[in-house]
């Protein structure tokens, strides 16, 4: 049963394999968190059922939260390792995000903000935190791990 993702396959990459994970980690130069890989094992990217992340700070999106459009997977057009112009390295270069890790979400703003796995404290083989990057390009830690990030997402709806 799919507990994380909505039905539909927009943003969804090819079925995940150990080889794909290994190639992505090699291309990105870091180890992906096991909780992220576990989520992608359920479905390799897609629109999440819960897409709002409450914050204690204002964002360019709202005074108390940001929203994501989809979780990006591995491989295919939308993969974090893609060279289609939609992969993490291309998004970092195009939008001037800080080089702290990997862009893992597609955002409704079309690039003005981002959610990234942040390896700046853990190093490339450690457990990254999750950072929100707004228009000022300052990373704001929003979760200590990808697992915590997923657990704090809430359904979209009226202001929280």
- Residue pointed to by tokens 């112009």: 85
Q: Model pTM? A: 0.94
Average pLDDT over the chain, rounded to whole? 94
**What is the C-alpha radius of gyration for the chain, rounded to an integer number of angstroms?**
14
Using the structure block, give the residue that is written with the tokens 């964002």: 59
Whether residue 2 is predicted with pLDDT greater than 70 in this model: the reply is no
Checking if the pLDDT of 3 tops 80, the result is yes
Domain boundaries, the chain: 18-152
What pLDDT was estimated at residue 159? 56
Tokens of 31: 């180890």
Mean pLDDT of the region 108-137: 96
On the question of pLDDT at 1 being above 50, the answer is: no
With a cut of 70, say whether residue 158 has pLDDT above it: no
CA separation for the pair 28, 24 (Å, rounded): 6
Q: Confidence class of residue 157 from pLDDT cuts 50, 70 and 90?
A: confident
d(CA 22, CA 40): 14
Identify the CATH number of the domain defined by range 18-152. 3.40.1580.10
Residues in Cβ contact with 56 at an 8 Å cutoff, skipping those fewer than 6 apart? 64
């Amino acid at each position: 049963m799919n507990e994380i993702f909505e039905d539909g396959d927009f943003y969804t990459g090819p079925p995940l394999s150990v080889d794909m994970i290994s190639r992505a980690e090699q291309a990105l130069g870091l180890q992906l968190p096991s909780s992220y890989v576990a989520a992608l094992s359920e479905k390799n990217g897609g629109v999440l059922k819960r897409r709002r992340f409450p914050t204690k700070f204002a964002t360019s999106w709202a005074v108390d939260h940001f929203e994501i459009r989809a979780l990006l997977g591995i491989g295919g057009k939308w993969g974090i390792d893609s060279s289609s112009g939609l992969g993490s390295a291309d998004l970092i270069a195009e939008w001037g995000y800080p080089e702290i890790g990997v862009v893992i979400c597609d955002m409704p703003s079309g690039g003005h903000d981002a959610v990234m796995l942040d390896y700046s404290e853990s190093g490339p083989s450690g457990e990254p935190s999750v950072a929100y990057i707004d228009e000022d390009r300052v990373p704001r830690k929003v979760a200590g791990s990808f697992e915590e990030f997923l657990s704090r997402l809430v359904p979209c709806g009226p202001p929280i």
